[in-house]
Amino acid sequence: MTVIAHVDMDAFYASVEMARHPELREVPMFVGGSSRGVVLSANYPARRFGITAGMPSSRARRLCPQAAVVTPDFDHYSAVSVGVAEIFDTMTDRVEMASIDEAFIDLTTALRRLGGDPVVVGEELRAQVMDEQGIACSVGIGPSKFIAKLASKQAKPDGLVRVQEEEVIAFLHPLPVEAIWGVGEATAGRLHRLGLTTVRDLANTSRPTLQRALGDGQGALLFDLAWGRDDRSVLAKEPSEHSVGSQETFSRDTDDPALVVTEILRMADRTAGRMRAQEMVGKTVTLSVRFADFTTITRTGTLKAYTDRTNDIYAEALRLFEKLGLQRARIRRVGVRAEKLVPKSQTYRQPVLDEPSHGWEDAEEAIDAAVLRFGPQAVQRARLTRRGEMLTAAG
C-alpha cells in the first residue's frame, strides 16, 4: 500500500523570522514591503486582522497599523529550506521538494526501517523540524499525493492528519470543489453554475458531462480526483544528485565522547543500510556536528574505494571526528552523510587478499533482510544497544 506524506511549513517566511526574533511570536507581523509591495507571509496574530499572503502591504497596514513589518531575507529562507530538506533526506531518497516550503515524501518502502507507523514517523518528522529549525510544519499522510496534500491543509496549523485508503471517499466528498487541484476561481464559477459545489456533487456527475463542460482533459482529471484516483508518483532526485545521510539530535546536549562516538556509528549504520537498499555506493563521507549553541561544523573525507559498508563509512566519520580535537564541547546533534553516490553495478571493488570468503558483506545483507522484515530493532550491533559505551572499533 502506498503511503505518501505532504509536509507544509506553516506561514514559512513569518515562521523563520519568528524563530530568529522570538519577540515577534505574540504580536501581529508580516514579511513584505512596509508600504509598497505585497505581503509574502503573515503570522497567525496578523491573520486575525484579515492580513493574508498576496495582499498589498498598504492594505495590510490599514487593517493593522501596529503590525510589525519584516523585510524579506531570501538567502536565509533558502538556507532554512535546505536544512529542512536534509531532515527529509535522512528518512528516504523518495523526496520531492514542491517549493521552498513544501515537500512530498514517499514513505512506502521506508516505513519498515523507520518503525512501521506512518503517524509516529510523521510526528517525529514534525518534532525534528521544530527542534532543528525552530519552525512548525503540518503533515498530511495519505495513499496519494492528492490526498496527502488535502490532509496537510486540514492539519493546519501545526498538526498532522492521516487519511487511510478506506477513508478517502468519506474524507474527500464533503469538501468544496475548490479544494481540488486545478480548480481555481474561474473553474469553480463554471462548476457552481452547473450546481456543483462539493466534491460529492462532482463525483456524482458523469465523466462525459464534465468533459463537455470543462474540456476532455480537465473534465476527466476532475472526475478521477473526485473519486480519489491519483497515480502521480513522488519525483525523487536523479541518481547523479544522490546523497544519503542520517542525523540524530540527542535528548540532552552531551560532552560525553563515548555517547557521541556511539551515535556516529549508529548514523553510519543507518546511512550504509539506506545505500544498500538503493544499490548505491560512494567514496565521499561527510560528518556534521552541531553544538549546544546551534553552531554547526562539517568535515568531508574521501575513501580509497567505493563502498556501502558500515565499517568503512564509520571509520572515515570517526577519523573526521577525532581530527576535530574537541575538548568536552557540548554537542547537540551528529550526522553522517555519503555523497556523490553511483550505482553499485557501475563499480568494481578489488578484494583484499586476506579477506574471508564470507564476512561483513554477507552479515550486512542478512541484517538488512531481517530489518526489512521485522523492523529496525530486529538485529543491531551489540554496541548500539548500549548508547553510553565507549567504542574503539566499528565491529
Radius of gyration of the chain (CA): 24
Tell me which residue of 320, 286, 285 sits closest to 304, measured CA to CA.
285
Q: Read off the C-alpha cell for 242.
A: 544522490
Cross-strand pairs, 342: 281
Indicate which residue of 17, 96, 102, 132 is catalytic: 102
Is 8 annotated as belonging to a binding site?
yes
Who's near 194: CB < 8 A, 6+ residues apart?
Answer: 205, 213
Is 230 annotated as belonging to a binding site?
no
Q: Read off the C-alpha cell for 80.
A: 532554512
Who's near 287: CB < 8 A, 6+ residues apart?
Answer: 264, 298, 299, 300, 301, 317, 320, 321, 334, 335, 336
Alpha helices in 215-359 (DSSP H): 216-226, 257-278, 310-324
Catalytic residue at 339? no
For residue 103, give Cα distances in angstroms to 37, 95, 123, 231, 371. 27, 7, 15, 17, 27
The answer to whether 320 touches 297, Cβ cutoff 8 Å, is no
Tell me which residue of 162, 156, 9, 158 sits closest to 87, measured CA to CA.
9
Who's near 129: CB < 8 A, 6+ residues apart?
Answer: 7, 9, 84, 87, 135, 136, 137
Residues forming the active site: 102
Q: Which residues are annotated as a binding site for Mg(2+)?
A: 8, 101
